[in-house]
C-alpha cells in the first residue's frame, strides 16, 4: 500500500490542475445573463414536474446554449456537489487525488485519451442513473392513483397547481371542458409541453405515459426519438433561413437583448468564441461549414463514445506540452490555475 500512496501524493498538483481545466473550460460557455447550475437549483422545487432546461452530461441546453457545466459534470459526475468554491483546499486535493487514480486505469501515472474517455462515459452513466431516480419520484407525484399511467389531463392539473391554481378547481374545469382562464404565457408553455408529451408517447398514441415514457418526456437524452425531437427544436430556434441546418453564423448568433453592458459584452464575446470553436472542432463532423440534424444529434448524444473521445482529447490537449497526447506530472506541475491554491 505504501508504494501505491507515494505516486498519488505526487499527483496532487496534477489533480488540482485537472479541476482547474474543467472550471476554466466552462468559464465563458454562456452569455452573461444566463444562469449556472447553482442558480438554476433555486427554481427546482417550482419546476420539479417540468422537463428541465438543463440536462446533466448533455452538451447543449434545451434553448441551444452551451452547457456551462458540461466538463465539470463529465469529470466529477455525482461528486460535483462535493467541490464547492469555498471548500477547504487540502480536502479537495485528497478527493481529486482519488479521482485521478481512478482515471489512471493502468497506474502508469499518466492519463491517456482512452482512459479519460472511459471515465467520461462512466460519469455520464451516473447522471443517467440520477435522472431515472428523479423521474421515478416525479412520476409518482403525478400518478396519484398509482395505476402506472399518467394522462395528459392529470399532468396538466399538477402543472397548473405549480402555477398557483387550485387543484380541485382545475380538475373540475378540465373534466367539464370549461375555460381554464390562464394567461397567455402559461398557455404557450402548455402547448409546448403537449407537443413534447405526444413525442414521448410511444405508438400507438393514447396520451397516457408509462414510467419509462415519462422519463423520456423529462429527459430526452434517454430516448433516441426524444433526442431527435430536442435536436429539431434547437435547430428550429437557431435556424434563420429555414433550411433545417445550422451555419456558423446562425449557431453563434446571440439572442436579442443578451448584452446588457460592456462587462456583459466582454463575457459574451468570449462566449461567441467558444461556440465558434465548438462548431468548427466538434459539431461540424465533416467540416463543410454546415451542421445537419444528424451531426447535431451525434454531438448531443451523451452516450456517443466517439464524441466522448473528442472531449477527452480536448481536455488533455490544454496541458500536453510535449504533444505526446498524455497528461503527465512533469507537464501539469507547471500549471496552477488561477483561483486554485498552489499545493
Residue 45 confidence (pLDDT): 43
The pLDDT tens digits of the residues spanning 279-323 come to: 998 999 999 999 999 999 999 999 999 989 988 998 888 778 888
Mean pLDDT of the chain: 80
Task: Decide which of 191 and 77 is more confident.
Answer: 191
- Three-class HEC string of the chain: CHHHHHHHHHCHHHHHHHHHHHHHHHCCCCCCCCCCHHHHHCCCCCCCCCCCCCCCCCCECCCCCECCCHHHHHHHHHHHHHCCCCCCHHHHHHHHHHHHHHHCCCCCCCEEHHHHHHHHHHHHHHHHHHHHHHHHHHHHHHCCCCCCCEEHHHHHHHHHHHCCCCHHHHHHHHHCCCCCCCCHHHHHHHHHHHHHHHHHCCCCCCCEECHHHHHHHHCHHHCHHHHHHHHHHHHHHHCCCCCCCEEHHHHHCCCCCCCCCHHHHHHHHHHHHHHHHHHHHHHCCCCCCEECHHHHHHHHCCCCHHHHHHHHHHHHHCCCCCCCCEECHHHHCCCCCCCCCCC
pTM as predicted: 0.75
Task: Decide which of 72 and 180 is more confident.
Answer: 180
Percent of the chain with pLDDT over 90: 47
The pLDDT tens digits of the residues spanning 120-136 come to: 999 999 999 999 999 99
The pLDDT tens digits of the residues spanning 60-76 come to: 998 888 888 888 888 88
Amino acid at each position: 500500500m505504501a508504494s501505491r500512496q507515494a505516486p498519488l501524493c505526487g499527483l496532487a498538483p496534477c489533480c488540482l490542475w485537472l479541476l482547474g481545466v474543467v472550471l476554466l473550460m466552462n468559464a465563458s460557455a454562456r452569455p452573461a445573463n444566463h444562469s449556472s447550475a447553482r442558480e438554476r437549483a433555486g427554481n427546482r422545487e417550482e419546476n420539479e414536474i417540468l422537463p428541465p432546461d438543463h440536462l446533466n452530461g448533455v452538451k447543449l441546453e434545451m434553448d441551444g446554449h452551451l452547457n456551462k457545466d458540461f466538463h465539470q459534470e463529465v469529470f466529477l459526475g455525482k461528486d460535483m456537489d462535493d467541490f464547492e468554491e469555498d471548500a477547504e483546499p487540502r480536502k479537495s486535493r485528497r478527493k481529486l487525488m482519488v479521482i485521478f487514480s481512478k482515471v489512471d486505469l493502468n497506474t502508469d501515472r499518466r492519463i491517456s485519451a482512452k482512459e479519460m474517455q472511459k471515465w467520461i462515459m462512466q460519469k455520464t452513466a451516473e447522471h443517467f442513473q440520477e435522472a431515472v431516480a428523479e423521474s421515478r419520484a416525479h412520476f409518482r407525484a403525478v400518478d396519484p392513483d398509482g395505476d402506472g399511467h399518467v394522462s395528459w389531463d392529470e399532468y396538466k392539473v399538477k402543472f397548473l397547481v405549480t402555477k398557483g391554481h387550485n387543484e380541485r378547481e382545475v380538475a373540475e374545469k378540465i373534466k367539464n371542458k370549461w375555460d381554464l382562464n390562464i394567461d397567455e404565457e402559461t398557455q404557450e408553455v402548455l402547448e409546448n409541453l403537449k407537443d413534447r408529451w405526444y413525442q414521448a408517447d410511444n405508438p400507438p398514441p393514447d396520451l397516457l405515459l408509462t414510467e419509462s415514457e415519462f422519463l423520456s418526456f423529462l429527459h430526452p437524452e434517454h430516448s433516441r426519438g426524444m433526442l431527435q425531437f430536442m435536436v429539431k427544436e434547437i435547430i428550429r430556434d437557431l435556424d434563420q433561413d429555414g433550411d433545417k441546418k445550422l451555419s456558423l453564423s446562425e449557431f453563434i448568433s446571440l439572442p436579442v437583448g443578451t448584452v446588457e453592458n460592456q462587462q456583459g459584452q466582454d463575457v459574451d464575446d468570449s462566449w461567441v468564441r467558444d461556440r465558434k470553436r465548438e462548431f468548427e472542432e466538434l459539431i461540424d463532423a465533416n467540416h463543410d461549414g454546415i451542421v445537419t440534424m444528424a451531426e447535431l444529434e451525434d454531438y448531443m448524444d451523451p452516450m456517443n463514445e466517439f464524441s466522448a473521445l473528442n472531449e477527452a482529447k480536448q481536455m488533455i490537449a490544454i496541458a500536453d506540452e510535449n504533444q505526446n497526447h498524455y497528461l503527465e506530472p512533469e507537464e501539469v506541475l507547471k500549471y496552477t490555475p488561477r483561483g486554485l491554491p498552489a499545493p
